[in-house]
């Protein structure tokens, strides 16, 4: 004899779950909404490829969601908001898929990483980092954007001083055949910071005397761009309170690059070779 299911108020099953009749397939609409896949996708949206690979390695080495290896790894994350984000992943794993192995979760993360999708804009800051919003330090993002260039780099800055990591990454880009255009403000002697770069790096100044070049931009090819308040100086990239955003949507980056290429066109008499 079958015992009928005991439903709660408003026709719900025990503990507020949808009712279920024996022998009748559950409707698709009652399928539980799992958080774990969304949390893994959010990690891919936030972190660059090399950092995601590190997370995958740690997950693959974990025996399960309660492995102390995970808690130590999470606690060691310095980026603002990343430790709570990873904690949510581990918590969802423990609740929704406790029987899944670490290598299984790592494979799920690798799958999310390989799935092509538009990447959202990402907040970039210099100076103190709070946990109120996921953000990354300007100095690291600047190097990452330069490293992602395959054919062209377009960089604009009002001031430049020091920034050795950025200059070194630009030189590596030049050595692998990337065309580099530096749009710099002449009155700040910004070009001196790049004096050691190869001679075929293109340096540009404003052609007219009115106004200054105050834009701050690093654009890699036509797919990625870093925009913000930070100049290419050591203090601006790390210590000053600065704010920016990195775009990885070609639909947004392409017209931005086209605008700066228009500024460089000789017939427009806006920029001139240094």
Q: What CATH number is given to the structural domain containing 156?
A: 3.30.870.10
Find how far residue 258's CA is from the centre of its chain.
Answer: 23
Name the burial class of residue 129, with classes exposed (0-12), middle (13-18) and buried (19+) by CB atoms within 10 angstroms of its CB. Answer: middle
Asked if residue 85 and residue 142 are part of one domain, the reply reads: no
Burial 166-204 (b: 16+ CB within 10 A, else e): bbebbbebbeeebebbbbbbeebebbebbeebeeebebb
With respect to residue 30, please indicate whether it lies within any of the assigned structural domains. no
Asked if residue 108 and residue 135 are part of one domain, the reply reads: no
Q: Are 173 and 154 in contact (CB under 8 A)?
A: no
pLDDT under 70: residue ranges of the chain = 1-32, 80, 116-118
Q: Given this model, what pLDDT does residue 117 score?
A: 65
Q: Given this model, what pLDDT does residue 225 score?
A: 97
Asked if residue 264 and residue 176 are part of one domain, the reply reads: yes
CA angle 185, 164, 224 (to 5 degrees): 70
With respect to residue 187, please indicate whether it lies within any of the assigned structural domains. yes
Backbone φ, ψ for residue 65 (5° rounding): -65, -20
With respect to residue 15, please indicate whether it lies within any of the assigned structural domains. no
Task: Please report, for residues 31, 147, 164, 211, 238, the alpha-carbon distance to residue 128 in angstroms, rounded to integers and kept in the order given.
Answer: 43, 25, 21, 32, 9
Asked if residue 160 and residue 181 are part of one domain, the reply reads: yes
Q: Given this model, what pLDDT does residue 229 score?
A: 97
* DSSP codes, 102-146: HHHHHHHHHHHHHS--PPPPEEEEES---SSS-EEEHHHHHHHHH
Rounded Cα distance between 54 and 86, Å, is 13
Task: Please report, for residues 154, 201, 226, the alpha-carbon distance to residue 237 in angstroms, rounded to integers and kept in the order given.
Answer: 18, 22, 12
Asked if residue 76 and residue 172 are part of one domain, the reply reads: no
Q: Given this model, what pLDDT does residue 120 score?
A: 78
The residue out of 81, 114, 147 marking a domain boundary is 114
With respect to residue 19, please indicate whether it lies within any of the assigned structural domains. no
The residue out of 114, 146, 163 marking a domain boundary is 114
Q: Given this model, what pLDDT does residue 29 score?
A: 43
> Half-sphere exposure (CA, 13 Å, Cβ side) for 209?
0
With respect to residue 233, please indicate whether it lies within any of the assigned structural domains. yes
Which is it for the CA torsion 111, 113, 119, 123, positive or negative? positive
The residue out of 65, 98, 114 marking a domain boundary is 114
Asked if residue 168 and residue 263 are part of one domain, the reply reads: yes
Which two tokens mark 47? 């972190």
Partners of 227 in the β-ladder: 217, 245
Asked if residue 68 and residue 198 are part of one domain, the reply reads: no
Q: Given this model, what pLDDT does residue 2 score?
A: 45
Q: Given this model, what pLDDT does residue 7 score?
A: 46
With respect to residue 10, please indicate whether it lies within any of the assigned structural domains. no
Asked if residue 221 and residue 151 are part of one domain, the reply reads: yes
Q: Given this model, what pLDDT does residue 272 score?
A: 95
Per the structure, the count of domains in the chain is 2
Q: Given this model, what pLDDT does residue 118 score?
A: 66
With respect to residue 6, please indicate whether it lies within any of the assigned structural domains. no
Asked if residue 150 and residue 79 are part of one domain, the reply reads: no
Asked if residue 155 and residue 68 are part of one domain, the reply reads: no
Asked if residue 135 and residue 210 are part of one domain, the reply reads: yes
Residues of the domain holding 253: 122-273
0.75 exceeded by the pTM?
A: no
With respect to residue 135, please indicate whether it lies within any of the assigned structural domains. yes
Asked if residue 141 and residue 258 are part of one domain, the reply reads: yes
Nearest CA to 70 out of 47, 88, 97, 49 is that of 88
């Amino acid at each position: 004899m079958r015992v009928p299911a005991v439903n709660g108020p408003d026709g719900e099953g025990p503990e507020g779950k949808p009712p279920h009749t024996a022998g009748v397939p559950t409707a698709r609409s009652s399928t539980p909404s799992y958080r774990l896949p969304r949390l893994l996708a959010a990690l891919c949206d936030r972190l660059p490829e090399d950092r995601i690979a590190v997370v995958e390695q740690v997950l693959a080495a974990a025996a399960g969601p309660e492995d102390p290896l995970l808690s130590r790894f999470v606690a060691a994350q310095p980026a603002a908001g990343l430790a709570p984000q990873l904690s949510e992943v581990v918590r969802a794993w423990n609740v929704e898929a406790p029987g899944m192995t670490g290598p299984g979760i790592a494979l799920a993360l690798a799958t999310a990483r390989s799935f092509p999708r538009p990447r959202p804009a990402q907040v970039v800051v210099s100076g103190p980092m709070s946990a109120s919003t996921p953000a990354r330090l300007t100095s690291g993002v600047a190097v990452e954007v330069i490293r992602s260039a395959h054919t062209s780099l377009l960089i604009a800055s009002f001031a430049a001083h020091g920034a050795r990591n950025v200059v070194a990454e630009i030189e590596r880009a030049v050595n692998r055949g990337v065309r580099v255009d530096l749009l710099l403000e002449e009155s700040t002697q910004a070009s001196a910071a790049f004096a050691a770069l190869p001679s075929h790096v293109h340096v540009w100044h404003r052609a007219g005397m009115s106004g200054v070049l105050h834009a701050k931009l690093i654009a890699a090819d036509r797919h990625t761009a870093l925009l913000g308040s930070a100049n290419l100086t050591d203090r601006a990239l790390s210590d000053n309170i600065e704010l920016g955003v990195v775009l990885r949507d070609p639909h947004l980056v392409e017209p931005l690059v086209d605008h700066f290429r228009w500024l460089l066109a000789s017939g427009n008499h806006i920029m001139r070779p240094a």
